[in-house]
Structure 1
Amino acid sequence: MTETNGARMTEMTEVATTYRHDLDSPIGPLVLLADSDGALTGLLYPGHRTIALAEGAVADPAPFRDVQTQLEEYFAGVRTTFDVRLAPVGTSFQRAAWEQLLLIPFGETRTYGQIADALGQPGAARAVGLANNRNPISIIVPCHRVIGAGGNLTGYGGGIDAKKFLLDLESRGSTLF
């Protein structure tokens, strides 16, 4: 298990049931997914490329009370870190890249190249971008904090407007972009 900034990634085991809860947010509807142990496996935007993870999930808000409260606090500007058990499904490289995202402090950004460097693979900026694209736990695993080498906003599962909103929220009123 890896722990950074309070969020904890656990190893994924065979899961019998996936739970789902749809949540309204200031950036639009979100889909929360959890495994039968209550670990968060998804925080997705409708249309996100990993939304298929939600197929067949059982609607039940109970496993999400804590994460819902934390997300509400985040959007209200009073929470800067999350304390949620995470169990994202991905390759070992993807998981390593996502763990690097958890190290980016609230209100700061990193480039794909900086993440690749932190992984000890300085030529892997594109691979980091692909891993970000497959991040199943948006916001909490903050792929929105990763920007292009020139400081420009790049693709985001929730759309560039959502990415801009999140970065501006985290900058506490001083517009980053």
Structure 2
Amino acid sequence: MRNVQPETLTLDRVATPTGEVLLVVDADGAVRALDFAGYEDRMMRLLRRHWGEAELVEGRAPAAIRSAVEAWFGGDLAALDGLKVKTNGTDFQHAVWAALRTIPVGETRTYGQLAAAIGSPKAVRAAGLANGQNPIAVIVPCHRVIGANGALTGYAGGIERKQWLLAHEGARTA
């Protein structure tokens, strides 16, 4: 068995109007994780689950990625659209995360609509679980998924932050 060196990922910290975000990128310029500073432990757990023991080095993300994140939080709601992301998970999770990226800015979907969008209308709970395991907040917009009754349910970054993100995007919420 070969000794494989752990992959090195860069951890950047970016100030935003709703708190500092943690931005993790790989050497190829793909975003591996984005989370809020108060949830660093959660982010690290998801990174380990998805990528094993990667080495995290504090530094600056490539300028184009960093400025896209800053621009989005500054009001350019299309700034994140072209960013490359890289996740590791099950086929079902990948389908859910891809479907999240198709929800237009300013719109929301219910967990049932998310499940239906991936061709698994009965897998509402599984879609919700996959949504909650998303390691790349905001860019893979899990905050755009709401409860069937319109309630802002289950956001790992906190309901107040979810409310801020949706208001920032101009989404109408109950």
Runs of at least 5 residues in structure 2 that lack an aligned partner in the other structure = 49-53
Aligned counterpart, 1:132: 131
Runs of at least 5 residues in structure 1 that lack an aligned partner in the other structure = 1-13
Whichever residue aligns with residue 176 of structure 1, its letter is T
The aligned runs of 1:14-29 (5 Å cut-off) are 16-29=7-20
Q: Percent identity?
A: 42
Cα deviation, 1:48-68, whole Å, max 9, x if unaligned, reads: 52333287401120x332122
TM-score of the superposition, structure 2-length normalised? 0.84
Aligned counterpart, 2:56: 57
Structure with the bigger percentage of helix: 2
Q: 1:44 aligns with which of 19, 28, 35?
A: 35
Aligned counterpart, 2:94: 95
1:145 aligns to 2:155 (yes or no): no
Range with bigger deviation, 92-101 or 19-28 = 19-28
Aligned counterpart, 2:83: 84
State the alpha-carbon separation in 2 of the partners of residues 99 and 119 from structure 1. 9
Aligned counterpart, 2:73: 75
Alpha-carbon deviation of 1:175?
A: 5.4
Secondary structure of 1:43's aligned partner: strand
RMSD: 2.0
Alpha-carbon deviation of 1:69?
A: 1.0
Cα deviation, 1:64-120, whole Å, max 9, x if unaligned, reads: 321221122112212335211110222111111000000000000000100101111
Secondary structure of 2:105's aligned partner: coil
State the alpha-carbon separation in 1 of the partners of residues 28 and 73 from structure 2. 26
How many residue pairs are counted as aligned between the two chains?
A: 161
Alpha-carbon deviation of 1:34?
A: 1.1
Secondary structure of 1:122's aligned partner: coil
Runs of 4+ with >4 A deviation: none
State the alpha-carbon separation in 2 of the partners of residues 128 and 165 from structure 1. 23
